[in-house]
Amino acid sequence: MNTRFLFKPRVRQSLTIVLLLLAISTLLPARAPLMKWWVAQAQWVALGYILLAMVLLMFNRTRLMFVCLGCSAAICLYFNETKTAAPPSSQAVPVLKNDTSATRDSAPVCQ
């Protein structure tokens, strides 16, 4: 396969910019429906970057490979931190106004 065009500096720089813009667009908050879909697919985008890095490794394009690995790591770290920072709303136990068990001591009193 002829991959001679990948050896040109302008092509490499252009590909680097495109890869970084795709990664940044995954990390930005989404307002448009198309962008919401793109952000929802973040785990697949990160996996795609890893697969592209493996292909670039086979073609001995290590600079682009490291860009892909860095983008994948940034996406994974960002979404890992945003998921752990937000409290899980499904596990929250609602407290009723008239519930007196919340004000009682949890330890039994021996008399």
Note the pLDDT of residue 55: 94
Total domains, the chain: 1
Does residue 74 fall inside a structural domain?
yes
Note the pLDDT of residue 111: 54
Note the pLDDT of residue 2: 73
pLDDT tens readout for residues 4-45: 776 788 988 999 999 999 999 888 877 778 888 888 888 999
| Structural domain harbouring 75 | 60-86
Q: What are phi and psi for residue 100, nearest 5 degrees?
A: -95, -5
Note the pLDDT of residue 88: 55
Note the pLDDT of residue 71: 95
Does residue 23 fall inside a structural domain?
no
pTM, two decimals, is: 0.67
Does residue 19 fall inside a structural domain?
no
Q: What is the rounded distance in angstroms from the CA atom of residue 32 to the CA atom of residue 37?
A: 9
Does residue 42 fall inside a structural domain?
no
pLDDT tens readout for residues 56-92: 999 888 999 999 999 999 999 988 887 776 555 555 5
How many Cβ atoms from other residues are within 10 Å of residue 71's Cβ? 26
User: Based on the number of CB atoms within 10 Å of its own CB, is 107 exposed (0-12), middle (13-18) or buried (19 or more)?
Assistant: exposed
Assess whether pLDDT exceeds 70 at residue 95: no
Does residue 106 fall inside a structural domain?
no
Note the pLDDT of residue 57: 93
Residue with the larger pLDDT of the pair 2 and 62: 62
Does residue 68 fall inside a structural domain?
yes
Structure-block tokens of residue 66 = 């490291």
Q: What is the rounded distance in angstroms from the CA atom of residue 21 to the CA atom of residue 4?
A: 24
Does residue 40 fall inside a structural domain?
no
